[in-house]
Structure 1
């Protein structure tokens, strides 16, 4: 309950974004492969940002 008003760090926001993009890419994969590849590329870029933040700590 005390964490109710806690703001999320940039790292937590990026991790949620990565997870959401990967789920979208997986769902699109069976319908349209090129769109899925674009989503995976977008997720890879987010993952690189996450790794940059983690390496600074």
Structure 2
């Protein structure tokens, strides 16, 4: 019953991950390869945190 009000940490991480990938794509389109690589690295770090949570769900 009280689980209804708990936030899902995987959902929050997935949203951050998607936002980082979107930012990276925009940086790449603008020709800013340095920012693209930094944002992609940050997205990979978020994925490393997200992946175990996704596996635990299944």
What is the TM-score when the length of structure 2 is the normalising length? 0.77
Q: Which stretches in structure 1 are left out of the alignment for 5+ residues?
A: 1-5
Q: Which stretches in structure 2 are left out of the alignment for 5+ residues?
A: none
Structure 1 residue aligned with 2:14 = 15
RMSD, aligned CA: 1.5
What is the TM-score when the length of structure 1 is the normalising length? 0.78
Runs of 4+ in 1 over 3 A off after TM superposition: none
